Amino acid sequence: MKALSMKVKFNKQALAVIAGLVVILGLGSVYAVKSDLFRIPSNPLAKSDNLESNAPADIPFDIPTEVTQEEKNLDEEAKKDFSAALNPKTDPKLPKGFQLVIPKIGVDWHVLEGTTNPDAILLKGFWKYPNTAYPSERSNTVILGHRWVYKKGDPKTLYSLDKLSKGDEIMVYYQQKKYVYKMTRSYVTGKDDLDMMDGTLTPTLTIVTSHPIEESKIISQQRLVVVGELTSN
């Protein structure tokens, strides 16, 4: 009886040891899997004892040398010197505030700023879009205005903005300084397109209004955009 009791006891101990090993091995596999999930990939270019001693330390890559025309244009724009045009002389006779003037279509009105109530601002005049550049800065100044609220010929309407042609002069008065732009292009885009608000490498003026004029009395689904580049003072 005593031998049987010892045998049973031994078997229980053996089973306990085996069970413990199974648990340890199981946990080890779990942690091994978990560590794989968070493993940081090694650098394939790093040296390793497993690599042949004469293996190259680096893998050569072909670097394209061809420069696209767009990249060339951007490089040329970045090199242009606008220092004089961005810092014109102050003239006490010029408006102290912010004013947009387009002689060809009779526009001559002040530009307002603000973010709390754009609709109310646009009923009073033109609106400089927030966070875009000022005329004295080398980037994109964006001005918005109504096209149909005021009658054709009113100095504060962009009713005839579509009549501008490439090369037409646009002026901005800012802090008693005069900034002269030449229209470079115009285009029509969707009302949700905000790409015209992006910064630019050269001093740019972007004017935005509703389009077409027939739909402007309801809700316009498009925008007419006129772009000009700073030239001289």
What pLDDT is recorded for position 60? 46
Coil/strand/helix, residue 34 = helix
Q: What is the DSSP string of 162-180?
A: GG--TT-EEEEEETTEEEE
CA distance 180 to 101: 10
**What element of type H or E holds 226?**
strand 222-232
Q: Where are the domains of the chain?
A: 1-33, 92-232
CA distance 127 to 146: 10
Paired with 146 in beta bridges are none
What pLDDT is recorded for position 25? 45
Tens-binned pLDDT, residue by residue, of the chain (233 aa)? 544 454 444 455 555 555 555 444 444 443 333 333 333 333 333 333 443 444 444 444 445 556 577 666 666 666 677 888 898 999 999 988 999 999 999 999 999 999 888 989 999 999 999 999 999 999 999 999 998 888 888 999 999 999 999 999 999 999 999 999 999 999 999 999 999 999 999 999 999 999 988 755 667 889 999 999 999 65
What pLDDT is recorded for position 83? 86
Tokens of 127: 């609106």
Domain 92-232: CATH architecture, name and number where available: Beta Barrel (2.40)
What pLDDT is recorded for position 115? 87
Paired with 227 in beta bridges are 185, 206
